[in-house]
Chains A and B, each alone.
Chain A
């Protein structure tokens, strides 16, 4: 029983702490409350993950109503992994937020900021944990609405237009998902994911099911910024407050990828998704384009945050490649990359947060010589950057290696070439920044490092890139058992 409660507590704790933060209003107290709630969620995720790895599925029936009628929270290998990523990164990033948000958000709005943050966290965790299709839509909108608010809190006025653009495209995406769920309900008469998965094969292929699949794929694609539906992402990440960029880049798109994997592999099933529908071809084509086009666009960005945002679009491409392979190896690579990309983008965006805190700008040409002024910050940036490229002994290498071998296993050589080419493009755009950071300047600037409370979380994430690059058994092990379960045993 305690296990079932844990999966509910995970959501309820941040959801109920959010109004508390609203009442408190004081930035410091709200931050402390938010951090405790976030850490508690992470604790729940850890316990759930250990339980699930022992071979159990944790099911909670809300309100005591049994599954097809009531809403159930269902934690299995796949979403236990996602819950760990979201709550873990959320907790580390929130640790750094106290000081950086002090600078970036007015004092009387800080309580509201942490309220929105917690709602976003609760929404993202809810998407992962729920076993009910309509409940997924509701949590999606909770997380989306609060992330529009978080993005609009940026200091630059372009944060407002970025947030508005995201609101329009995000709402269209969410409504598409709602239509898809409606069609599924129309044909199966149920909203429970497991129930839908059981009933769909009996119905065979009909136009309604096919439309449901198409609407869901496009809707989730909008939410995860799948190329060419990514137009909202670069501005949103570039002008949001630093901690928000780090949090959303590391978690929001990951949860959308999770939703896609859940629908494609678990609910519709592989034979429908890849047999009756040409999903493999579509995903692979779009993913290849994402890697090439977004990486090239990243090279030409003056704003380093915007550059990282374009790089995120490319990394989502890598993740989708593995999903499109429709093999256990490909899915393992994708899930590992989800985790590793969260680590590297978390570290990179947080180190940019340090730079904004001390230096006030992230325009590339104005960062000259910062390597000597802020050696620890720039060190963390470089570590995250080489992981992004995929240098051996970093986390980025582990997932790209898996992706390459998965592509070669099914003989898709051109795709393997694209993976390597994408890495080379990453070398170029990352190098342009690193070169400026360590460029010699005439005056010897005084050292002014960012405060420890931002630097320590940044380095935790940066070192995690090395740790999970050397000791891959935890991340890859978890991902491969989830992938094996989805492609083999999973319905």
Chain B
């Protein structure tokens, strides 16, 4: 049981990851799919950020009298990944706008129904 609380951040990550993936798979609405994808990516960001924690470590800013710092590298990596995530979301939503213009709907079933008809 102590293990459970010791590693609670992993449970947060797993919960968010599964929620995100479920929304991507289950939802027929393209905008909701993008939101699901976002939640899924955010879970991985948290995974990385929680990696950097060092017990008793201070924020990684050089100051006198502090010897133990948290690891700043995962934060830097995830800053890059967040940028990638923003770009993906922007592109995804732009595509949804174009799809809406071309099909008049953002529901997956309607779109495939229209394609079948051709």
Instruction: Decide whether A and B assemble into one complex.
Output: yes
Q: Is the CB of B37 within 8 A of A145?
A: no
8 Å CB contact of B95 from A163, A179, A186: A163
Q: Chain A residue with minimal CB distance to B33?
A: A168
Does B47 belong to the interface (CB within 8 Å)?
yes
Residues of B within 8 A of A167 (CB): 88, 91-92, 95
* 15 further interface pairs, Cβ-Cβ under 8 Å (given A134-B77, A160-B99, A178-B44): A141-B87, A145-B87, A149-B91, A160-B102, A161-B99, A161-B111, A168-B33, A168-B37, A171-B41, A172-B21, A172-B37, A175-B40, A182-B44, A182-B51, A182-B74
Q: Is the CB of B44 within 8 A of A179?
A: yes
Residue with the highest number of chain B CB atoms closer than 10 Å, among A138, A163, A164, A172: A164
Q: Mark A115-148, 1 if CB is under 8 A from B, else 0.
A: 0000000000000000000100110010001001
Q: Is the CB of A175 within 8 A of B41?
A: yes
Q: Chain A residue with minimal CB distance to B89?
A: A171
Does A262 belong to the interface (CB within 8 Å)?
no
Q: Is the CB of B88 within 8 A of A145?
A: yes
Query: How far, in Å, is B95 (CB) from chain A's closest CB?
Result: 5
Q: Is the CB of A185 within 8 A of B95?
A: no
Residues of B within 8 A of A160 (CB): 95, 98-99, 102
Q: Is the CB of B24 within 8 A of A182?
A: no
Q: Is the CB of A182 within 8 A of B47?
A: yes
- Enumerate B47-106 residues with CB–CB distance to A below 8 Å: 47-48, 51, 74, 77, 80-81, 84, 87-88, 91-92, 95-96, 98-99, 102-103
Residues of B within 8 A of A (CB): 21, 24, 30, 33, 37, 40-41, 44, 47-48, 51, 74, 77, 80-81, 84, 87-88, 91-92, 95-96, 98-99, 102-103, 111, 115
Does A157 belong to the interface (CB within 8 Å)?
yes
Q: Chain A residue with minimal CB distance to B115?
A: A158
Q: Is the CB of B92 within 8 A of A164?
A: yes
Does A152 belong to the interface (CB within 8 Å)?
yes
Given A172-B21, A175-B44, decide whether A157 and B95 contact each other with a Cβ distance below 8 A: no
Residues of A within 8 A of B (CB): 134, 137-138, 141, 145, 148-149, 152, 157-158, 160-161, 163-164, 167-168, 171-172, 174-175, 178-179, 182, 185-186, 191
Give the complex CA separation of A148 and B51 in angstroms.
31
Query: How far, in Å, is A428 (CB) from chain B's closest CB?
Result: 26
Query: How far, in Å, is A330 (CB) from chain B's closest CB?
Result: 33
Q: Chain A residue with minimal CB distance to B97?
A: A160
Query: How far, in Å, is B94 (CB) from chain A's closest CB?
Result: 9
Query: How far, in Å, is B44 (CB) from chain A's closest CB?
Result: 5
Give the complex CA separation of A309 and B11 in angstroms.
40
Give the complex CA separation of A114 and B6 in angstroms.
51
Given A138-B84, A160-B95, A164-B95, decide whether A171 and B37 contact each other with a Cβ distance below 8 A: yes
Give the complex CA separation of A386 and B95 in angstroms.
38
**Can you name 29 A-B pairs with beta carbons within 8 Å?**
A138-B80, A141-B84, A141-B87, A145-B84, A145-B87, A148-B91, A149-B91, A152-B95, A152-B98, A157-B103, A158-B115, A160-B95, A160-B98, A160-B99, A161-B99, A164-B30, A164-B92, A164-B96, A167-B92, A168-B33, A168-B92, A171-B41, A171-B88, A172-B37, A174-B84, A175-B40, A182-B44, A182-B48, A182-B51
